[in-house]
Chain A
């Protein structure tokens, strides 16, 4: 299987007044056609920056310093702006976290979706564009699309707005959908509806998806494979069942152990001790070493940065001691 999207050794730096922050540091990912890759990690682990660099939308003071992003045989990072614009929105579409801010508040929702279509199909007539928008709105479950076409974002509920955003993303039948925490800004009751919609929409269209989240439950429900990010690196990458059943990085184990569970209502949550490293001055060895129970001051963890190694077919872990149980 040739992957649709291959991110290889990507590194993104931000020059700040206090020094250089390496937000993404050697990330490698693969997404096959029609596959859903879940990217999980806490705030600041580089998930969103990775997504933005796929679309070439990292802006100063941010800069891609290393690596490549290959999409369907083309290196997106080397592509001239004009060709890249033709890929954005048409072949790779993005769903943003907060549809309230990702939609222009003073432009009717229908017109914004129409604009997304017209950007890539400028010759389509007004009536045809309108018909397509109505069809899209109906397909994402917006009731009475004709009446809502001319409504502004503030007249939509949060869930409806995200549905509209998804309709916009699907407008040009992309091959890859990048959803950056699509349910974080939503009501809990609406979250599963929207996730279900993303799931069916991508599978019906045969599109692949990168689903960025910090919710392991979302990953378990939708993703085929998962990449766990920590401090700008992918620490574990593999099939979702495999990773959840046999987590091979202490950070993943910590995340899984830290989940709230219904069956163990007694006792509190089990947090990972400590906090993520300061990316201005990352530890020289493994970024997780200061919080890791496995490392326990071992020299290898302190001095050498672990590279991802295969622990099983298609299952990578970036831990020196991945074979050891906690």
Chain B
């Protein structure tokens, strides 16, 4: 007679640990809400985000304009949700690109070793030794500001972090007997990367990627605020803040800067909570079996 016992898989254990983390769960719920609002922006906005109505500029919140209007008479709520699309997309895409590129290079460097490893790691050192803000300002000047430029530059400046993490993990995985066994069964090094390395590094990479999203949303806001990122009239949370640059406006018209400011702060906070939650959920150290 056999009894069938189905122990929880590592993945479902991690999911359970994540759900038990209230901050992470709250962050995830908030992000889902922001994501839904951004995706459904044209449906929920009620106004076109770029329609200028000079007859109704800097109007306080009202039934017609939920969060009032800005200096050009554009609906702040409409701009806020549309800006969410841009800000989230830039953060997600650039983090994804940076992490994917870094992971691939890190796995190759760790697995192939020798000259490949040396070249990749020196390249990473070079990238990390550049002040990325300066590079971005220069590139914004050369390529012209814009969301696509931001994604490209963010990815180019941020791949080394994931690369180093993945290389380190790969070096230790390479010594595992099951990797040796896979090689003895005729698997090439690329097969080993695909079968054994990438799945094993995925949790750590996901954590690093999530935390990077928060950093990059923030950086996008800073650059757009400075006029080096997303270009008006297209709205991003950063460039919405540009509107409120003088003291009088800040003091008397909080609807101009409070919504985008809160959106940035809360989103970044939520992403960080989720990232920390993921890290605690996948970190098996110190967890009793």
A residues with CB within 8 A of B: 55, 57, 81, 85-90, 93-94, 96, 98, 101-107, 115-116, 119-120, 143-144, 147, 152, 155, 168
Contacts and interface: CB of A to CB of B under 8 A. Distances in A.
Given A152-B9, A155-B7, 18 more contacts: A57-B184, A81-B188, A85-B187, A88-B185, A88-B186, A89-B185, A94-B181, A96-B180, A98-B177, A102-B178, A102-B181, A104-B182, A105-B178, A115-B187, A116-B185, A119-B185, A120-B186, A143-B2
B183 interface: yes
Contacts, number: 66
B191 interface: yes
A101 B186 contact: no
Contacts of B9: 152
B178 A88 contact: no
A144 B2 CA distance: 10
Contact of B186 (A90, A104, A143, A155): A90
A59 B25 CA distance: 46
Interface string B222-235: 00000000000000
Contact of B4 (A105, A119, A120, A147): A147
A147 B10 CA distance: 20
Interface residues of B, number: 23
Nearest to A91: B186
B196 interface: yes
Contacts of A120: 186
A85 B188 contact: yes
A103 B185 contact: no
Contacts of B288: none
B177 A86 contact: no
A104 B198 CA distance: 13
Nearest to A143: B2
Contact of B178 (A90, A104, A152, A155): A104
B4 to A, nearest CB: 7
8 contacts: A57-B180, A86-B186, A89-B185, A90-B186, A107-B195, A119-B191, A144-B2, A152-B9
Contacts of B4: 147
A94 B178 contact: no
Centre residue among B9, B178, B183, B196 by max chain A CB count within 10 A: B178
B176 interface: yes
Interface string B1-21: 010110101100000000000
B186 A103 contact: no
A106 B10 contact: yes
Contact of A96 (B7, B177, B188): B177
Nearest to A87: B186
Contacts of B7: 155
Contacts of B181: 94, 96, 102-103
B199 interface: yes
A166 B176 CA distance: 19
A96 B184 CA distance: 10
B200 interface: yes
B10 A88 contact: no
B177 A119 contact: no
Contact of A55 (B182, B184, B200): B184
B187 A119 contact: yes
Contact of A93 (B10, B182, B185): B185
Interface in B174-220: 176-178, 180-188, 191, 195-196, 199-200
A116 B178 CA distance: 12
Nearest to B199: A106
Contacts of A85: 186-188
Contact of A89 (B176, B186, B196): B186
B185 A104 contact: no
B184 A115 contact: no
Nearest to B196: A104
A168 B185 contact: yes
A119 B180 CA distance: 15
Contacts of A90: 186
